[in-house]
Amino acid sequence: GRNIALKQNASQSSTYNSDSSRASNAVDGNTSGDFKDNSCTHTAEGDRTPLWNLTFSRPQFIQRYILYN
């Protein structure tokens, strides 16, 4: 299947490091799990209610999803 999350609107409750752990890193197409590749998202230490959110630009039918870590 195709990646319907690619470049969609992602947000999170906080950011660990503004340069390397933005919410948008999760939908940039880079599936590397190496934090040094600036491909990961991470909320701030001490965030008591960590949240990551994805909003699609239009309704989507999702039959299967794959998460990379």
CATH match for 1-69 among 3.40.50.1370, 3.40.718.10, 2.60.120.260, 1.20.1050.10: 2.60.120.260
Vertex 22, ends 12 and 66: CA angle to 5°?
75
- pTM of the predicted model, to two decimals? 0.85
In the structure encoding, which two tokens stand for residue 25, read together?
A: 């890193």
Summarised one tens digit per residue, pLDDT across range 15-35 is: 998 778 999 999 999 999 898
Nearest to 66 by CA among 36, 44, 33: 33
Is residue 46 very low, low, confident or very high in pLDDT (cuts 50, 70, 90)?
very high
The full set of domain ranges for the chain reads 1-69
Please provide the average confidence, as pLDDT, over all residues in the chain: 93
Residue 31's pLDDT is: 93
